[in-house]
Amino acid sequence: MSTYAIGDIQGCYEEFRQLLLLLDFSPSRDRLWLVGDLVNRGPGSLETLRYVQSLDDAATTVLGNHDLHLLTVAAGHARLHRRDTLRSILDAPDRAALLQWLRTRPLIHVDGAFVLVHAGLIPPWTVPQALDLAGEVAAALAGPKHDQFLRVLYGNTPDWTEQLTGWDRLRAIVNVCTRLRFCARDGRLEFDEKRGAEHAPVGFAPWFKIPERRSATHTLICGHWSTLELRLEARVWMLDSGCLWGGPLSAVRLEDGAVFQVPSRQPLDPKPR
């Protein structure tokens, strides 16, 4: 059995299936770890969501910001953006089942020395602490007040502190796990800069470059930051190699670190600069 971690698919279904062929993936034998952002911007969001759901325990996926955007739009608390490709899901006859399945995915998955999370973890958080905090969000999304939570999910504030309560606390946890790129040593997030590591604003750094990062006890497997492309470093694997803008779709085998890639069919978005 092999376990393959795959970067942001974002509706690039044909590339995803081509990558699985390259891996000789068998759901009866192998396992997939998906870093989130299954949907949006690519042309096959519905097909991707249906296929991953059909894999049952053979696939583990964590929520990304585009997945949460789908849930928020479906609940009527946000509008589709110009480049969104979510309409096929919203109009699908199995919409309710797909959204229910997506809403019950976790923010973080931990297995041995590996942590799967969409964007990353702020320096003050240990892995056990992050897993507990993600559990608070999972309980809210799966619970009877999930609609209230989705209504207030969007927002850049507040910054994380242990004293936060209520929706503010849950929103801060979601922002860390699904939107993190640059942050300060104390965990404050910077949301505006989306370019590469060399563009860090004053007082901020790429989250995985901060020496005091307490989650460095594990190897974090993430996506989200496409301008970094495929980046494999000690204790962090960044797997969003930008399939949307013409980069490859990437997979890494957990057992030995082997890398597998398939080319993009066509650029769907301009490459970020």
Task: Give which of 51, 41, 40 is closest to 16, Cα–Cα.
Answer: 51
Tens of pLDDT along the chain (273 residues)? Answer: 999 999 999 999 999 999 999 999 999 999 999 999 999 999 999 999 999 999 999 999 999 999 999 999 999 999 999 999 999 999 999 999 999 999 999 999 999 999 999 999 999 999 999 999 999 999 999 999 999 999 999 999 999 999 999 999 999 999 999 999 999 999 999 999 999 989 999 999 999 999 999 999 999 999 999 999 999 999 999 999 999 889 999 999 999 999 999 999 877 666 665
How far is residue 273's CA from residue 270's CA, in Å, rounded to a whole number?
A: 9
Q: Where are the domains of the chain?
A: 3-262
* Homologous superfamily (CATH) for 3-262: Metallo-dependent phosphatases (3.60.21.10)
Helix (H) or strand (E) holding 31: strand 31-34
Residue 164 Cα distances to 94, 137, 235, angstroms: 37, 13, 29
How far is residue 30's CA from residue 49's CA, in Å, rounded to a whole number?
A: 19
